[in-house]
Amino acid sequence: MFVVSKVAIALISPLGASLFGGLLALLLALAGRRRLAFWFGALALLWLWFWSLPAASNWVRGYLEDQHPPMAVHEVPQAEAIVVLGGGVSPAGHGDLYPKLESGADRVWHAARLFHASKAPLVLLTGGSDPSHSAASEAEAMGQFMRDLGVPGQALVLENRSRNTSQNAEYSADILAEQGINRILLVTSAYHMPRAKGLFEAQGLEVIPVATDHEVLSRPLWRNLLPEARALDGSSRAIKEIVGRLVGR
């Protein structure tokens, strides 16, 4: 099911959908349906071009991020635990010495800020990995980063089985229930927060969202109209979140 979900996500992404449309156009052309092939090919190119525009990418990401704007640390209420979702730190591969920080590493950094501000006494790090490619789980990689940021090891609890956000919520809820914890600070990237918050609340947890890693920035108008690979990636991640939330409902 994990592989199937990854394939489905790839197909609904702007790049995957455009490639599928281009392939369909090629097959139609080979079958002699040239007019239909032209329209499918043109639609695939327009779809890819539109979601590659920073203006379109900022619009769809902004829809998600605006639901949970940045919150200063002193404004965050107290809770029983801080739960940090994986996606910001890649575990070290076999033969590597250290984990690698990704664009979403703000999640771990911000969780450390919250801990040092005494917002909760416990930090739950959640995220597994494929043992054939990684020497440790994502939770373990985040734990190493957290300790480097001054968070003591005894304050860290690892959930290292999950491979997606739904499992993050399910397995984390089991661990929290064992410790009698219900009120949590949920830390993840802003575009990911709406879906993640819903999944954790579905587990019966009282969730205080603390979004970080806001991506949408103000920029000159002319730059918003030039296609970028980074904008295409942002569009793909946002569309994945929206579709995932709708399917979850």
Which residue ranges make up each domain of the chain? 2-65+224-248, 73-212
pLDDT at 7 (0 to 100) = 65
pLDDT at 190 (0 to 100) = 96
Got the DSSP string for the chain? Answer: -HHHHHHHHHHHSHHHHHHHHHHHHHHHHHTT-HHHHHHHHHHHHHHHHHHTSHHHHHHHHHHHHTTS----GGGSPP-SEEEEESSSEEPPBTT-SS-EE-GGGHHHHHHHHHHHTTS-S-EEEE----TTTBSS-HHHHHHHHHHHTT--GGGEEEE----SHHHHHHHHHHHHHHTT--EEEEEEEGGGHHHHHHHHHTTT-EEEEEEE--------HHHHTS--HHHHHHHHHHHHHHHHHHHH-
pLDDT at 89 (0 to 100) = 87
pLDDT at 1 (0 to 100) = 54
pLDDT at 106 (0 to 100) = 92
| Fold of the 73-212 domain | Rossmann fold (3.40.50)
Residues in the chain, pLDDT under 50: none
Q: Which pTM was predicted? A: 0.87
